[in-house]
Amino acid sequence: MIVGAAMEVYNHLGPGFLEAVYQQALEIELASCSIPFRPQQELAIYYKNHRLRKVYVPDLFCFDKIIVDLKTLDRLTSIEFAQMKNYLKGTKFQLGLLLDFGAPNSLEYKRVILTR
């Protein structure tokens, strides 16, 4: 559902815009698909079961359990994948979605699942 909404945005806008443009467009698309989301939702980060003062603010937080991180790169790399794994580990969520709107031919996406 989220990927389908992101594909609609990519197909309409194509590559070349800033992340903020894709975020606004994706928020419109998610709302039109009745997908529950919160933009820029502060998520607590934990260290050894201690909540840290520092918070993580993902681009979107969908269904109260999926961290969505938007990118505008030529392609996703292991750096973005590792970063998402760290976000999941620190926030205690298990599912993340990387969406890259910068790829020249199509939307690139990667689901990241943290197993405990």
The pLDDT assigned to 80 comes to: 95
The residue ranges of every structural domain in the chain are 2-113
Report the C-alpha gap between 74 and 2 in whole angstroms.
Answer: 21
Q: What is the dihedral of CA 96, 64, 45, 20, to 10 degrees?
A: 60
Query: What percent of the chain has a predicted confidence (pLDDT) above 90?
Result: 89
pTM of the model: 0.92
For 36-80, the pLDDT digits (tens) are: 999 999 999 999 989 999 999 999 999 999 999 999 999 999 999
Query: Residue 92 — pLDDT band, cuts 50, 70, 90?
Result: confident
**Predicted pLDDT of residue 93:** 93
Question: 60 with 70: CB under 8 angstroms?
Answer: yes
Alpha carbon dihedral 83, 52, 95, 89, in 10-degree steps, equals 60
Domain 2-113 = CATH 3.40.1350: yes
